[in-house]
Structure 1
């Protein structure tokens, strides 16, 4: 699973993006527990404010429908020979929060991502990195 956190806005309008590959972390189980606590469909009510930060949080988990083979290919149950496998679709959860909405598990996830990864900088208006 990949977790992306981007912070944009503020007076300078810079965008910082952090990216963590959860499966590569020594405490991946703790990461998954934290991510499960995120209320993706229930964001705290709070209007956006001028010159404050906005946080984009995205979790991508690869989905597989068949059995995974050692070479990384997937094969549906009962199939004898697989054609060139299509890349698995990713399950994506994402949310955009104003600075004051970043509370509870949202804040814990952002703090943990920031402690684990170095930020990548982007100029204002350049979109996601």
Structure 2
């Protein structure tokens, strides 16, 4: 089971993505419990806010897009665990520009 968290926006317009395989994690059962108990269907879409992050969380067949202020409680736990489990797979401006140039 693949879990992908994409964070876009922020002051510099960076995009970061973390992609992990839940079955490869030493605590995969805990991951599965957390994923199964998240309120996937209860997340209401909020309008984008300037200089704030937007998180897209995907674990097929479920997907949710959350504003930064919605990433609390179990969503925050999930995002923090994903960030700790691996390095971002990409880092670029959300408008496609290369931030290193």
Which category of TM-score, normalised to the shorter sequence, fits these structures? 0.7 to 0.9
Matching residue of 2:84: 115
Aligned CA distance change for structure 1 residues 44 and 101 (closer, same or farther; 3 Å): farther
How many residue pairs get matched?
95
Q: Under a length normalisation based on structure 2, what TM-score does the superposition of the two structures give?
A: 0.86
* Counterpart Cα distance in 1 of 2:46 and 2:94: 24
* Counterpart Cα distance in 1 of 2:74 and 2:44: 11
Q: Secondary structure at the match of 1:110?
A: helix
After superposition, residues 1-129 of structure 1 pair within 5 angstroms as: 1-43=1-43, 46-60=46-60, 92-120=61-89, 121-126=91-96
Higher helix share: 2
Q: Which runs of 5+ in 1 are unaligned?
A: 61-91
2:45 and 2:66 in contact (8 A); partners too? no
1:45 and 1:101 in contact (8 A); partners too? no
Q: Secondary structure at the match of 2:16?
A: strand
- Measured after TM superposition, the shift of residue 94 of structure 1 is 0.6
CA-to-aligned-CA distance 1:67-120 (integer Å, 9 cap, x gap): xxxxxxxxxxxxxxxxxxxxxxxxx21111000000111111101000101012
* Counterpart Cα distance in 2 of 1:45 and 1:94: 12
Q: Which runs of 5+ in 2 are unaligned?
A: 97-101
Higher-Rg structure is: 1
- Measured after TM superposition, the shift of residue 29 of structure 1 is 0.3
